[in-house]
Amino acid sequence: MRSILIVGCGDVALRTIPLLNQGYRVLALVRDPAKCAGLRALGVTPILGDLDNRTSLARIAGLADAVLHLAPPPNSGVHDTRTRNLLSVLSQGQSRRRITSRRLVYVSTSGVYGDCGGEWVNETHPLNSTSPRSLRRADAEQQIRDWARRNRVSASILRVPGIYAADRLPLSRIQQGTPCIVANEDSYTNHIHADDLARISVAALKRGKACRVYHTSDDSHLKMGEYFDSVADAFGLPRVPRVSRAEAQHVLPEALLSFMNESRRLTNQRMKRELKVKLRYPTVADMLITIERS
Instruction: Enumerate residues 6+ apart whose C-beta is below 8 A from 39.
Output: 9, 28, 30, 45, 46
pLDDT given for residue 100 in this prediction: 64
Residue 43 lies in a domain: yes
Instruction: Enumerate residues 6+ apart whose C-beta is below 8 A from 159.
Output: 108, 109, 110, 112, 123, 213, 214, 215, 216, 266
Residue 233 lies in a domain: no
Q: Whole domain around residue 149: which residue ranges?
A: 3-165+191-219+265-279
d(CA 93, CA 29): 16
pLDDT given for residue 219 in this prediction: 98
Residue 287 lies in a domain: no
pLDDT given for residue 99 in this prediction: 46
pLDDT given for residue 291 in this prediction: 87
d(CA 77, CA 266): 27
Residue 138 lies in a domain: yes
CATH value at residue 114: 3.40.50.720
Residues of the chain with pLDDT under 50: 97, 99
Residue 131 lies in a domain: yes
**Structural domains in the chain (count):** 1
Q: Is beta strand 120-121 parallel, antiparallel or unpaired with respect to 103-109?
A: unpaired
As a three-state string, the secondary structure of 86-141 is: HHHHHHHHHHCCCCCCCEEEEEEEHHHHCCCCCCEECCCCCCCCCCHHHHHHHHHH
pLDDT given for residue 294 in this prediction: 63
Residue 106 lies in a domain: yes
